[in-house]
Amino acid sequence: MHLFIRTAGIFAAVSALSFSLPVPNAAAARKIPPTTLSVQYGKVLERGVQKIELTAVYENKGLYATQATISVSDTKTDELLFRFSPERDAGYSPAIALADFTGDGTEEIFFGADSGGSGGFGFYYLFSVMSGSVQTLFDFETYPENFSAAYADGYKVQVFGRNPERQYFIDISGRDADYLSALYDENGILRKPVAADVSAVNTVLPFFVNYGNRYNLLVMRRITGLYNADSFGYTQEFLRFDGKTFIPYFTAIAVI
Residues 8-22 have pLDDT tens digits of: 332 233 333 333 334
**Which residues contact residue 85 at a Cβ distance below 8 angstroms, ignoring those fewer than 6 apart?**
67, 68, 69, 70
The rounded distance, in Å, linking the Cα atoms of 79 and 239 is: 34
Query: Which neighbouring-strand residues pair with 176?
Result: none
CATH code, 30-139: 2.40.128.460
The rounded distance, in Å, linking the Cα atoms of 181 and 191 is: 9
pTM, whole model, 2 decimals? Answer: 0.85
Q: What pLDDT sits at residue 30?
A: 66
**209 phi and psi, to 5 degrees?**
-120, 115
The rounded distance, in Å, linking the Cα atoms of 149 and 225 is: 9
Q: What pLDDT sits at residue 62?
A: 79
When comparing pLDDT for 3 and 152, which is higher? Answer: 152
Share of the chain above pLDDT 90, in %: 79
pLDDT at 61 over 60: yes
Residue-range domain boundaries for the chain: 30-139, 148-255
Calculate mean pLDDT across residues 197-205: 97
Quick: pLDDT tens for 111-162: 999 998 878 899 999 999 999 999 999 999 999 999 999 999 999 999 999 7
Least confident span in 40-44, 57-61, 113-117, 236-240: 57-61
